[in-house]
A = this chain, B = another copy of it.
Amino acid sequence: MLTQNPRVVFAKRPGTRIPVPGEHIIFESSRSIDLDSVPLNGGFLTKTLMLSPEPFMRERMRDLHVPSYSTHAVLGEPLVSFGLVVVLRSEKEGINPGDHLYGLTTWEAYTVQPYVEGRARHNAEEAPDYTFDVDSLALQVVPDPKGTFPWSRYFTVLGAPGLTAFCGFEGCTDAKPGETIYVSSGASAVGIVVIQLAKAKGLKVIASAGTDNKVEYMRSLGADVAFNYRTTPVADVLKKHGPLDLYWDNVGGEVVELAIEYSRLHARLIMCGSISEYSVAPEQRHGIKNTSMIFKKRLRIEGFLVPDLAPRLAPRFFAEMPGLVAEGKITAKEHITEGLENGPDALVAVLKEGGNGAAGKPVIRVATE
C-alpha cells in the first residue's frame, strides 16, 4: 500500500541571500512509498518524528566554489539535518523496529537508511583538509526517556548542541570561577547550555539575544546580565559589565570586534559559529580592524568543531549530561513547529532571526508515533 512521502528539496543555491521557500527550498508531496515492501538492502526504514532547522544547513547551501568546514548540500535532493526518527522495519543487526535514533537524516516523512538521496559526495583527497563529511554523523540509537523528559530534548542539551557546548566549554575555555564570559546567541540551543555550564563553574555570565522573550529566558537560566542586542548596543553592555575573560562566539562579524575591544589580558575567544555571515557576501562582511589587540592583550582566539573534540570529551558528556538533565540541573526548552510543510519557513526564521522570536530551540514535528 502506498503512503505519501512528502519532503523538502534543496532546489537552488541561494548565493549570498537567505534562501527563499518555494525557490531555493521547496516542500513537495508528489512522492509516495510502500512502507511494507520498499527494499531495505540491509538497512532499515525510519519514520521521521522531528527535524532540527540549523545554521549549518545554510552553510552547506553555499556555492560550489566556496570552501568551508562542511560538505555541500546536494541540489535536487532532500535537505539533511539532525533528526529524531523511529524504526519501522530493519534488516540491520542491532537496529530494531520501535528503536528511536538521533543523528543526520533527510527532510522527508519516511526514509530508507542509511539515506542515499541528499548524501554529499566527499572525496577527502580533493576537498580541503578542514572540510568535514557531515553525512558521517550517522543516526544513533538513543534511550527512551520514558517521560522523564520530552524526546525533543535530544535537539538541545542532550544532542548535538549540548555536545557542542560541552566540548567547547570543557575543551577550549580554560574557564575559572570568578571569570566573566559573554555568550552571543545566548538563547540558542548551544548558548543556553554554555550559560548553564558557565554558571555551574562559578562564572559571571553576560548573554545576548534578539527578543525580550529570549532575554527573560536567559535570565531564568542564570545569566547575570542578559540583554536584547537589537535595543541595547553590545558595546554599552560590555563597557559596563566587562572586561571579558571569555567570549563565546556564535555570530561572527562585528561582535567579535567588540569582544576583542572589551577583553582583558589573556582573554580567550571561542569561535563556535558565524550566523551573522552565512548569507552575506564575503566583501559585505564586517572587517575586524582591531586584530593588533590580539598580541597587545595576549588573547587566544580558537575555533573548534565537535568532531575534533568528541573523541576526548563525548564519553564524559554522555556519562554526565543525562543525569544533570534528569535532576533538573541543566534545563532546556524547545519550540515545536507542527508539520514538515512548515519546515522551510522554520529554517528561514532560524537564519533570519534565530528562530521565531519565541524562546526555545526551533524543532519541526513531522509526525507523532
Complex interface: chain B residues within 8 A of A304 (CB): 295, 298
What is the CB-to-nearest-CB distance from A347 to chain B, in angstroms, rounded to a whole number? 19
A295 with B272: CB separation less than 8 A: yes
Complex interface: chain B residues within 8 A of A286 (CB): 287, 289
Question: How many copies of this chain sit in the oligomeric assembly?
Answer: 2
Complex interface: chain B residues within 8 A of A287 (CB): 286-289
| Interface-central residue, A253, A292, A293, A304, by most chain B CB under 10 Å | A292
Tell me, in angstroms, the Cα distance from A142 to B304 when the chains sit together: 45
Nearest neighbor of A297 in chain B, beta-carbon distance: B130
Complex interface: chain B residues within 8 A of A294 (CB): 271, 301-303
Whether A69 sits at the interface, judged by CB under 8 Å, is yes
B291 with A295: CB separation less than 8 A: no
What is the CB-to-nearest-CB distance from A185 to chain B, in angstroms, rounded to a whole number? 13
- A275-327 residues at the B interface, CB under 8 angstroms: 277, 282-283, 285-305, 308
A274 with B303: CB separation less than 8 A: no
Complex interface: chain B residues within 8 A of A249 (CB): 295
Interface size on A, residues (CB 8 A): 42
Whether A98 sits at the interface, judged by CB under 8 Å, is no
A285 with B289: CB separation less than 8 A: yes
| Interface-central residue, A264, A291, A293, A303, by most chain B CB under 10 Å | A291
Given A286-B287, A287-B286, A288-B287, A295 contacting B300 (CB threshold 8 A)? no
From the candidates B69, B292, B299, name the one contacting A274 in the complex (CB within 8 A). B292
B282 with A290: CB separation less than 8 A: yes
Nearest neighbor of A301 in chain B, beta-carbon distance: B301
- Main secondary structure on chain A at its contact with chain B? loop
- A214-262 residues at the B interface, CB under 8 angstroms: 243, 249, 252-253, 256
Tell me, in angstroms, the Cα distance from A285 to B273 when the chains sit together: 25
Complex interface: chain B residues within 8 A of A177 (CB): none
Whether A68 sits at the interface, judged by CB under 8 Å, is yes
Whether A178 sits at the interface, judged by CB under 8 Å, is no
Tell me, in angstroms, the Cα distance from A319 to B186 when the chains sit together: 49
Complex interface: chain B residues within 8 A of A129 (CB): 243, 264-265
Tell me, in angstroms, the Cα distance from A198 to B68 when the chains sit together: 29
A291 with B252: CB separation less than 8 A: yes
Tell me, in angstroms, the Cα distance from A68 to B294 when the chains sit together: 11
What is the CB-to-nearest-CB distance from A207 to chain B, in angstroms, rounded to a whole number? 19
Whether A128 sits at the interface, judged by CB under 8 Å, is yes
Tell me, in angstroms, the Cα distance from A335 to B86 when the chains sit together: 74
A292 with B252: CB separation less than 8 A: yes
| Contacts beyond the supplied A282-B290, A299-B301: 9 A-B pairs with Cβ under 8 Å | A129-B265, A130-B265, A273-B295, A282-B289, A286-B289, A294-B301, A294-B302, A295-B303, A300-B301
Q: Which 7 A-B pairs have the closest CB atoms?
A: A287-B287, A295-B303, A274-B292, A130-B265, A69-B296, A271-B295, A294-B303
